[in-house]
Structure 1
């Protein structure tokens, strides 16, 4: 009897530990994702480094550039803006919230890099919206695609919310992870 109770207790403890680790990974996933940069021609990940980024996707924060942003609302309605950001902080173009968009891009860590292939992403759906950003940033070519089809993509979108959704702010969670 004592052996049987010990085995049952060990099994319960092992299962509880397994669940705790699993929930811990899921809880930490959002934080990890919020800091994970994403860019690719597909909405998930890319195996090659996009043109205009270092292998880690880092771009100097003081960089400026000229970008074209195309946002599709998921129903086929597209909006297109141009954005110019100078290294001295001057914003221009026809983007409705140019100053905030420039600040969000400059503050984002590796704004154009893809989600790493080995990144665990929560399978939540944030909407059918997609966006593409092309142009130059820091003297390098930019070609990035954004979507809202999983937790990693949503976090990536949210880090650049002022660029992709004029009038919105970068969330505190995304800002802390950038």
Structure 2
């Protein structure tokens, strides 16, 4: 009996070193396929998704003004372009800048006016609380708005 235990232990150690899982009997286990995409994981296993409320006024885009909910992972809500908005947020998550951060006080901005559009975004993004206001009163604010499209509507100006 001790020889069988040593044999099983030896097979298990060899398999572990080779990266092959084994059952308690010493037989190799079949690999278990894992989901390839994040959306395939059950929500309890995935990181909590982004949940934002986007309120837009005076955008000049038909149907864009109002309050919409946006959820990502999984994509949903009442946002008019939810898939594109979530894709953009995922792209922004790989950068080092916070797209919801206000323009710095010492920023040098062009004195151009992009129109009366305003927006407020609240909720959670990347596990952080968001409470940000947007407008198009100067070049810096216009750039900040455009960086967040299509979360915010692409308006003329």
**TM-score, normalising length from structure 1?**
0.52
Could you tell me which residue of structure 1 aligns to residue 50 of structure 2? Answer: 65
Aligned residues: 102
List per-residue Cα deviations over 1:10-55 (Å, max 9, x = no partner): xxxxxxxxxxxxxxxxxxxxxxxxxxxxxxxxxxxxxxxxxxxxxx
Could you tell me which residue of structure 2 aligns to residue 25 of structure 1? Answer: none
Q: Over aligned residues, Cα RMSD in angstroms? A: 2.4
Could you tell me which residue of structure 1 aligns to residue 43 of structure 2? Answer: none
Could you tell me which residue of structure 1 aligns to residue 140 of structure 2? Answer: 152
2:63 pairs with 1:79: no
Could you tell me which residue of structure 2 aligns to residue 12 of structure 1? Answer: none
Aligned partners of 1:64, 1:107: CA distance in 2, in Å? 14
Structure 1 gap ranges (5+):
1-61, 169-178
Could you tell me which residue of structure 1 aligns to residue 149 of structure 2? Answer: 161
1:104–1:159 CA contact under 8 A, matched in 2: no
2:79 pairs with 1:92: no
Alignment of 1:84-123 (within 5 A): 84-86=71-73, 90-108=74-92, 109-123=97-111
Aligned partners of 2:112, 2:102: CA distance in 1, in Å? 18
Higher helix share: 1
Structure 2 gap ranges (5+):
1-46
Aligned partners of 2:121, 2:150: CA distance in 1, in Å? 13
Aligned partners of 2:89, 2:108: CA distance in 1, in Å? 24
Aligned partners of 1:63, 1:118: CA distance in 2, in Å? 35
**TM-score, normalising length from structure 2?**
0.59
User: Larger radius of gyration, structure 1 or 2?
Assistant: 2
1:63–1:106 CA contact under 8 A, matched in 2: no
